[in-house]
Amino acid sequence: MPELPEVETFRRYFERTSLNKRISSVSSIDGLLLKDKQDPKSLAKELENRLLAGSGRHGKYLFLITSDSKYLIIHFGMTGYLAYLKDGQDIPRYTRLLLGFGDSSLAFVNTRRLGKIFLYSDRKSFLKKRNLGPDALKIQKCDLRDRISKRKKPIKSALMDQSIIAGIGNLYADEILFQLSVHPRSLCVELKENIYEKMSDKIKYILTTAIERHAEIRQYPGTWLLPHRKKGYPCPRCGGKINIIKIAGRTTYFCPQCQKYQKRLVY
């Protein structure tokens, strides 16, 4: 469940449960998820006896900041969550990293092992190395327009491209375009320039509303697409049939009645 709102929800969960705890042990490390030539032993050594002093997030990446200013960075891939465990609670199945605090612990659970774990001492260099664009919640209107409007790819592909804007994935891209009444295949360069101001507002509205509702899709407004993003469900706006197509290899839900293909001649 890991696009920006889910990851932000995990970050807040971390702040509530694990902030200022001291890491006394590191275990259940899945070496497959360790990136940039980290190995389980050295990771454990780097983290042990450190305090969890803060947190951050950029796009879909979660940052846990230690007392010596190291960043333990977690990416959830397609699945996963954090679980704070009181002493005696069972360690969840598919736990890939367990930070022990003595009387409790924090588990990073990642069923499909497509998640990633990094350890960096500098946030900037990490963003650069991963080639991440600005965070979707912080991006400025004109920046969004500048980064997208000249592209010759479908708007949905651009929204999901983490180097253009970080944090939006398949589900929220569909929601954003549904609420903007834009066909997901519309080429960026063919959209009217003034759509990008509206898009910036929509992105912020949708992501903040999702975060307020703890990224629980059932709690989203009934006017949104996401609660209806299932095969055979009608469009919440016009009652028409939702179409399912593929864009950039991903299943795309949209309403052909509400989301007309936007076209503008360009020279």
Partner DNA sequence: ACGGATGTTATTAA
Partner DNA sequence: ATTAATAACATCCG
The residue within the footprint of DNA, chosen from 41, 112, 241, 264 (CB under 7 A), is 112
Per-residue x/- mask for DNA, residues 25 to 64, rule CB under 7 A? -------x--------------------------xx----
Does the footprint of DNA cover residue 135 (CB under 7 A)?
Answer: no
130 catalytic residue (yes or no): no
Is the Cβ–Cβ distance between 242 and 178 less than 8 Å? no
Q: Which residue among 12, 113, 141, 250 is the active-site one?
A: 250
3 catalytic residue (yes or no): yes
Does the footprint of DNA cover residue 9 (CB under 7 A)?
Answer: no
The residue within the footprint of DNA, chosen from 52, 160, 210, 211 (CB under 7 A), is 160
Would the CA dihedral through 221, 57, 64, 94 be positive or negative? positive
The residue within the footprint of DNA, chosen from 37, 218, 249, 265 (CB under 7 A), is 249
Q: Which residue among 60, 96, 130, 229 is the active-site one?
A: 60
The residue within the footprint of DNA, chosen from 162, 179, 200, 262 (CB under 7 A), is 162
Q: Which is nearer to DNA, 23 or 137 (CB)?
A: 137
Nearest Cα to 81, choosing from 11, 135, 17, 138? 11
The residue within the footprint of DNA, chosen from 75, 145, 147, 183 (CB under 7 A), is 75
Q: Which residue among 3, 6, 8, 46 is the active-site one?
A: 3
**What six digits make up the tokens of 115?**
């998640």
Minimum distance of DNA from residue 96's CB (angstroms): 9
Query: Which residue, chain included where needed, has tokens 């864009």?
Result: 247
145 catalytic residue (yes or no): no
Minimum distance of DNA from residue 190's CB (angstroms): 12
Nearest Cα to 176, choosing from 29, 1, 5, 2? 5
By CB under 7 A, the count of residues binding DNA is 31
Does the footprint of DNA cover residue 80 (CB under 7 A)?
Answer: no
Minimum distance of DNA from residue 48's CB (angstroms): 26
Does the footprint of DNA cover residue 2 (CB under 7 A)?
Answer: yes
Minimum distance of DNA from residue 134's CB (angstroms): 14
The full DSSP string for the chain is: --SHHHHHHHHHHHHHHHTTPBP-EEE---GGGB-TT--HHHHHHHHTT-BEEEEEEETTEEEEEETTS-EEEEE-TTS-EEEEEETTPPPPTTEEEEEE-SSEEEEEE-SSTT-EEEEES-HHHHHHHTT---BTTT--HHHHHHHHTT--SBHHHHHH-TTTSBS--HHHHHHHHHHHT--TT-BGGGS-TTHHHHHHHHHHHHHHHHHHTTT-GGGS-TTSSGGG-STTPBPTTT--BPEEEEETTEEEEE-TTTSPPP-----
Is the Cβ–Cβ distance between 41 and 108 less than 8 Å? no
Does the footprint of DNA cover residue 113 (CB under 7 A)?
Answer: yes
227 catalytic residue (yes or no): no
Which residues contact DNA by CB under 7 A? 1-3, 6, 32, 59-60, 75, 77-78, 94, 111-114, 130-131, 151-154, 157, 160, 162, 169-171, 248-251
Catalytic sites, residue numbers: 2-3, 60, 250
